């Protein structure tokens, strides 16, 4: 009887340990996904802000760093981009927009970058 109880308790301890470990890993994964979603949302908002900030006759080129919070910095870089169309003609007013987000998480620096090619006249009212 005592031996059966010990075996039963051993099986229960192993199962309980496995459940606790899996719950811990799930919580860590959930936190990582939430942080990545925050960074993705931030980058999308910044891209929209930069792309819609162009006004006729102004220099669209930018190179600036913004501090979002204590752990997050954003580097916005807008540079002229050279490209040609199918006829070999240069496309004017084409820019490469790059957003680099640096965030500190659990003592380590994470860096993600997002970029797109932009033609300002696509967003101007006609």
- Number of domains forming the structure of the chain: 1
Domain with 112 in it: 2-123
Residues 69 and 102: beta-carbon distance below 8 Å = no
Q: Flag whether the pTM goes above 0.75.
A: no
The separation between the first and the last C-alpha atoms of the chain, rounded to the nearest angstrom, is 87
pLDDT tens, N- to C-terminus, the chain (126 residues): 888 999 999 999 999 999 999 999 999 999 889 988 988 899 889 888 887 776 655 666 688 898 988 888 999 998 888 888 888 888 888 889 999 999 887 778 888 898 988 887 765 555
């Amino acid at each position: 009887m005592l031996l059966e109880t010990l075996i039963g308790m051993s099986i229960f301890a192993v199962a309980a340990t496995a459940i606790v470990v899996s719950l811990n890993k799930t919580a860590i994964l959930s936190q990582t996904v939430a942080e990545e979603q925050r960074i993705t949302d931030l980058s999308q908002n910044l891209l929209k802000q930069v792309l819609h900030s162009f006004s006729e006759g102004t220099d669209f080129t930018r190179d600036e760093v913004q501090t979002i919070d204590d752990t997050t910095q954003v580097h916005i870089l807008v540079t002229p981009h050279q490209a040609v169309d199918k006829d070999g003609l240069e496309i004017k007013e084409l820019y490469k927009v790059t957003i680099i987000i640096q965030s500190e998480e659990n003592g380590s620096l994470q860096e993600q970058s997002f970029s797109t090619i932009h033609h300002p006249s696509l967003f101007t009212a006609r």
